[in-house]
Amino acid sequence: MAQNPLEAALAAPQSPGILDRRLVIVTGKGGTGKTCVVAALALAAARAGKRVLVVETGLGEAVPPLLSPGASPVGYAGRELQPGLTALHIEPYEALAEYVGLQFGMRAMTDLVFRNAAFRQLMDASPGWRELITLGKIWHLREQERFDLVVVDAPATGHGITFLDVPRVVISAVRAGPLRRHASWVEDMVQSPDETLLLPVALAEELPARETAELVTRLREDVGVAVDRVVVNAVARSPLPPGAPDLAARLARLPAQLDCGGLPAPPVLAACLGHAVSRAELNRHYRDLIGRETGLPVVELPYLDGGVSGPDDLERLARALVEPPVRIAAESTS
């Protein structure tokens, strides 16, 4: 990524770097490659000598297969996947059972209650507790200080807001008692700017770009979580070599039947190159738009043709992620 020293200095204010936090919550709309960012960030931290924990909050496990292909699921207990890099999967019922057990030391009774079909029914129908207990478990893991950095694969945007907003809602809905107290601990964790960072992941396309701008505004206003950069994923590089900005038009001008050593005909070459050029221009335009609308510096990750398909790809993303973010100039004309 082209960057001059002045830009780098501007982009790195006094706030701590991405690997110096204790908790990074990665969020983004489905399809933005959030999971790869989580894996790459964890890898970068582990390479920097940190003890890292990756937390999955989804239905299945997506991050562990990226970090350790073919490994069995890490489950709620978690497992070290690489030296210094542990992953676990928070299953809400298990987290709830653990919480209740820890709180009241009534494991036998808790188990009895959890097996109760009516209780399951009540819980299945009740909104909010999954988010709260998941954040609570994260709080607890962080308190144990077994890890320098916890990276959370948060639910997709939309639900991502509610995910972080639940402690606040509980605090205002519950009058007193342990639940309210614990929710306020969790809220303090979310709102601690030196320790906790929310990392939004966006794609440089029209709708995801607008949605990201909206997300960042709401996070700042409603949730009070620190956001200091936006990751713009899968940014395609321009295929054009220097000195040939109009290459697609030149290819289109060549005789349509021309045979160049068995290559596809020039109109096909022109269409393929043209497609790649438009994609790159579009990505650049929306990358800049994200930067301007959020007022945040941008971390750009490259587009990979085949997606993230191996450890090399992940290493590449990991290196790009810890680069200082770049501030997009206010009156960029691209």
Q: Which of residues 61-80 bind other proteins (CB under 8 A)?
A: none
To the nearest whole angstrom, how small is the minimum distance from the Cβ of residue 68 to other proteins?
17
- Interface with other proteins, residue 224, by CB under 8 A: no
Q: Within 304-323, which residues bind other proteins (CB under 8 A)?
A: 305-307
- Per-residue CA distances from 8 to 14, 193, 197, 320, 321 (Å): 13, 21, 20, 14, 14
Pairing outcome for strands 298-302 and 230-235: parallel
- Interface with other proteins, residue 94, by CB under 8 A: no
User: Helix, strand or coil for residue 56?
Assistant: strand
To the nearest whole angstrom, how small is the minimum distance from the Cβ of residue 11 to other proteins?
27
Interface with other proteins (CB under 8 A), residue from 19, 23, 24, 32: 32
To the nearest whole angstrom, how small is the minimum distance from the Cβ of residue 202 to other proteins?
11
Nearer to other proteins, 275 or 319 (CB): 275
To the nearest whole angstrom, how small is the minimum distance from the Cβ of residue 21 to other proteins?
25
Interface with other proteins (CB under 8 A), residue from 10, 48, 169, 322: 169
Compute CA 243 distance to the chain's CA centroid, rounded to the nearest angstrom. 37
Is residue 252 within 8 A of residue 266, CB to CB? The reply is: yes
CA dihedral of 90, 96, 102, 107, whole degrees rounded to 10: -120
- Interface with other proteins, residue 288, by CB under 8 A: no
Nearer to other proteins, 45 or 198 (CB): 198
**Contact window for other proteins (CB under 8 A) among 3-11, 74-82, 96-104, 139-147:** 96-104
CA terminus-to-terminus distance, the chain: 16
Our CA angle for 68, 71, 72, nearest 5°, is: 145
